[in-house]
């Protein structure tokens, strides 16, 4: 069962050891507070039985925004969305470039819920004048994020909030974290769209007044990754504005400008610089249909030339272990994979002839894909690996329908839907800095401008006090 992947503890006890003054959350000793974000606090803790260090994310179930919007379910839906996304990600294998959720502490009598994640000892990525990165470091960070994104996109998941603070480092590993506003390709809730400065142009055009029915795609994560890479390289954001309206105009209409003062004199370094700028420019193309894809990024010069020959081969095949079973991995070409995935009509017909005597008591093998909406209405259950024995779809019939073939080629057959209503969340901690609450600023004051709060349905709606009081 999926529920067994990430266990939920429904009894939570907060105690204090008098001799040492340490607080305990069940069997986790709280050591120190290591983060304070919009959703709540993050603590460094230690499992007293194993000695392993973990990061415990404390989230308030009823946020200020939920109260002001008169919708108490906004915050709790975001929390459970993140939990469901993590269950989907950890359904089969634990990917090294995605943070692992160990367990959930959810006592119904508490107004807080605690998510116990693996601890990353080098914390999140920083950017600014005080945090220079070499081309080698940028290559290492980018390739590991790319593998993590390729994995979740293969599962049909769109992150929607890629930025430096959502990229963690644990020793030499780089991991993607914070799936609070993530969604699947099948269920896209646009009540929360991400952090404004990292949002793709196609997201900046969404508003309550516009009846835009276009679905967002994985291209928005590539844009956000391009902005993140720009921040690490140049220590600043590529698009800025005094308010959200100005910021969105910059993102939609202005081209990215690279800092020419960073051009190195060394020929080898200059070549890497040119390759990196070329890659970023392709990641930051306004039109999502013309934007570079993850597959194209993997063959780009900046990525490819940064590896030794054998290392590059391993990099290209890395996610096969996590997205395909052993039988599919041994296939050397796409036609061979499809031969194993789908049962040909001829073999099905011959099989039905030989078993005609038992047809009355045996169900007929379906020759067409079940309706998508019926599949999506099912509860979240553990997914089985694709195999020729469990998939009776016919390749020839699929080839006659481009629509159906594309659905299989984009890996959407691997997933099912679940509710992912989410909102931008808000910190309810009284000790948080009220001056900066709701805003994203550089922690080291490298950035002196304001780039705005996480956006809800429309950044242009302004509610007055009378609106909240129904006057």
Q: Are 440 and 178 in contact (CB under 8 A)?
A: no
Helix (H) or strand (E) holding 71: none
Which bin fits 123, alpha (ψ -120 to 50), beta or left (φ > 0)?
left
What does residue 102 show for φ and ψ, rounded to 5 degrees?
Answer: -75, -50
Q: Which residues have a catalytic role annotated?
A: 161
Q: Are 413 and 184 in contact (CB under 8 A)?
A: no
Rg from Cα positions in the chain: 24
The DSSP letter of residue 386 is P
The DSSP letter of residue 256 is P
Helix axes 219-234, 135-154, angle to 10 degrees: 160
Half-sphere exposure of 119 (CA within 13 A, CB side): 19
What does residue 431 show for φ and ψ, rounded to 5 degrees?
Answer: -90, 5
Helix (H) or strand (E) holding 68: helix 64-68
Q: Are 91 and 5 in contact (CB under 8 A)?
A: yes
Residue 184's beta-bridge partner residues?
157
Interatomic CA distance for residues 147 and 155, integer angstroms: 13
């Amino acid at each position: 069962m999926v529920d067994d992947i990430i266990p939920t503890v429904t009894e939570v006890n907060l105690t204090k050891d008098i001799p040492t003054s340490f607080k305990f959350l069940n069997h986790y000793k709280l050591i120190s507070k290591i983060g304070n974000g919009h959703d709540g606090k993050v603590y460094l803790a230690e499992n007293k039985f194993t000695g392993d260090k973990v990061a415990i994310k404390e989230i308030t179930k009823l946020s200020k925004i939920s109260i002001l919007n008169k919708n108490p379910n906004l915050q709790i839906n975001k929390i459970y969305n993140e939990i469901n996304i993590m269950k989907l990600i950890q359904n089969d294998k634990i990917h090294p470039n995605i943070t692992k959720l160990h367990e959930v502490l959810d006592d119904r009598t508490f107004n807080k819920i605690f998510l116990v994640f693996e601890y990353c000892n080098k914390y999140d990525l920083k950017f600014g004048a005080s945090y220079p990165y070499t081309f080698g470091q940028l290559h290492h960070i980018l390739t590991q994020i790319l593998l993590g994104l390729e994995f979740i996109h293969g599962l049909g998941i769109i992150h929607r909030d890629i930025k430096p603070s959502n990229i963690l480092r644990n020793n030499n590993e780089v991991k993607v974290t914070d799936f609070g506003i993530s969604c699947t390709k099948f269920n896209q809730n646009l009540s929360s769209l991400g952090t404004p400065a990292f949002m793709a142009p196609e997201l900046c055009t969404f508003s309550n007044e516009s009846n835009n029915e276009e679905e967002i795609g994985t291209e928005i994560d590539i844009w956000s990754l391009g902005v993140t890479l720009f921040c690490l390289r140049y220590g600043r954001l590529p698009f800025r504005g005094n308010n959200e309206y100005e910021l969105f105009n910059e993102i939609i209409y202005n081209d990215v400008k690279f800092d020419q003062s960073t051009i190195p004199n060394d020929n080898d370094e200059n070549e890497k610089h040119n390759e990196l700028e070329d890659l970023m420019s392709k990641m930051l193309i306004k039109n999502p249909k013309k934007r570079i894809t993850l597959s194209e990024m993997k063959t780009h010069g900046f990525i490819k030339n940064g590896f030794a020959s054998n290392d590059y081969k391993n990099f290209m095949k890395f996610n096969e272990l996590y997205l395909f079973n052993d039988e599919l991995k041994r296939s050397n070409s796409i036609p061979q994979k499809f031969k194993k995935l789908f049962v040909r009509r001829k073999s099905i017909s011959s099989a039905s002839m030989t078993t005609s005597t038992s047809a009355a008591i045996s169900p007929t093998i379906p020759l067409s894909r079940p309706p998508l909406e019926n599949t999506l209405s099912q509860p979240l259950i553990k997914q089985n690996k694709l195999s020729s024995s469990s998939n009776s779809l016919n390749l020839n019939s699929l080839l006659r329908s481009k629509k159906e073939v594309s659905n299989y080629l984009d890996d959407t057959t691997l997933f099912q839907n679940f509710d992912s209503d989410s909102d931008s969340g808000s910190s309810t901690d009284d000790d948080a800095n009220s001056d900066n609450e709701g805003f994203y600023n550089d922690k080291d004051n490298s950035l002196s401008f304001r780039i705005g709060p996480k956006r809800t349905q429309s950044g242009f709606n302004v509610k007055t006090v009378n609106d909240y009081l129904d006057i």
